[in-house]
Chain A
């Protein structure tokens, strides 16, 4: 028996059985999507934090709040993040004030509700795709493992037809099967790392938004 096991990555993938190849394709697609979302999240979170910094700088610079609001609402782009919270809160506050004859507590309550709604919307945008990353991180190793188990089962089934079992008869099958686990891990590890990182930065951003809401409420209350 001449064992010519020159294994390259392509022969490993091509030599695998159909279910294992399917598993590999599924894992490749999930990996592509997870990386896509990872990059999207990197950019959106980076944008959100720079936006928050810019808005905080202009907010605490001591300018007129009416001017700030006009600048934001007249902008072509729909305001995001902290700016949209400010916009919602200030709009509600101005409306209540124009109606007049309202209790201070009611005005503040309405403003808070508006800001809370905007905050939730923003947080929802920030949290987008994180569940997908979490499930890729936790499930894709199992998918890979399934492919590996299937491949190894096939390798051993082939062994039962041979009188003399040698390692060289099983080894290629096992190597092919293990590629599935490798791809699963390649998909899972970045997804888990990205999930944890994004979750913590979203948390930090949400704390920042909340503290801004509190401070802004105080400022509005003083103006009544």
Chain B
């Protein structure tokens, strides 16, 4: 591997080669340092209701009024406060005028000064009083606001709960209202579509039956993977049917909204070999 005359420099060369690889390694470690930026995931769950029951409309109408009622309350105290100012100012200037007409200028001036001093004191006092009053009013208003908000929140919660319970009731009612014939028709359609996609050779010659739970959106698309509830005993067959369900997306759906809700949680008993 190494010639005789090269043995002197082989050590030096070996060290240099190692150094080069160290540098390369450091360069790679530094340059290949991909940090995937993870934006914080905000998952918001949105529940869409097709048809709101009519009952909750009233509570909704009831809750906003408190805001409307409170707002005028807030505004009312303020207009009340300013009026005292003008009244006080108007009253005070009036007496000096009367004095001016009746008495001497000196007296007038003295009086004026006194009056003005009094005025100032009174005004200052009143101003302070007004300020205090204002503050108190504001605080009260704030308290009231908070109370109102809390009330509103509570009301809203109640409302939502009511809505939810109402929804359940109504859906239950609607579901019961949907004719079973429509449901039967569309489950058959769904099964037919899936059956067309099943690779039947995987399910053997017998007549296996399996049960899948599938969640179907109103658009006919699947939400989530189909869940196997009862296996046919043949894993290949189960997989084949599961694939067929996924391939059959979107599934046929009835036009009626109430009937669509029936397919949200569909337990599908399926016989791949049945015709």
Contact = CB atoms under 8 A, between A and B. Distances in A.
A9 B29 contact: yes
A8 B24 contact: no
B5 interface: yes
Contacts of A10: 29
Q: Which applies to chain A's interface (DSSP): helix, strand, loop or mixed?
A: helix
Contacts of B13: 36-40, 42-43
Given A40-B2, A44-B5, A163-B225, A35 B36 contact: no
Contact-residue size bin, chain A (C-beta under 8 Å from the other chain):
20 to 34
A5 B34 contact: yes
Interface string B1-42: 011011001101110111011001100110011111010000
Interface in B71-130: none
Contact of A39 (B12, B36, B246): B12
A80 B5 CA distance: 9
A4 interface: yes
Given A4-B38, A186-B24, A32 B5 contact: no
Contacts of A32: 17-18, 21
A71 B33 CA distance: 60
A165 interface: no
B35 A35 contact: no
B261 to A, nearest CB: 26
Contacts, number: 67
Q: Which applies to chain B's interface (DSSP): helix, strand, loop or mixed?
A: helix
Interface in A1-46: 3-10, 12, 28, 31-32, 35-40, 42-44
A7 B32 contact: yes
A45 B16 CA distance: 17
Interface of A: 3-10, 12, 28, 31-32, 35-40, 42-44, 80, 125, 128, 163, 179, 182, 186
Interface of B: 2-3, 5-6, 9-10, 12-14, 16-18, 20-21, 24-25, 28-29, 32-36, 38, 225, 246
Given A35-B20, A163-B225, 7 more contacts: A7-B36, A8-B33, A31-B21, A32-B17, A39-B14, A44-B5, A128-B3
16 contacts: A3-B36, A5-B34, A5-B36, A6-B36, A8-B29, A9-B25, A9-B29, A10-B29, A12-B32, A32-B18, A38-B13, A39-B12, A40-B2, A44-B9, A125-B5, A163-B246
Smallest CB-CB A-B distances: 8 pairs: A39-B13, A35-B17, A36-B17, A7-B34, A40-B13, A43-B9, A9-B32, A9-B29
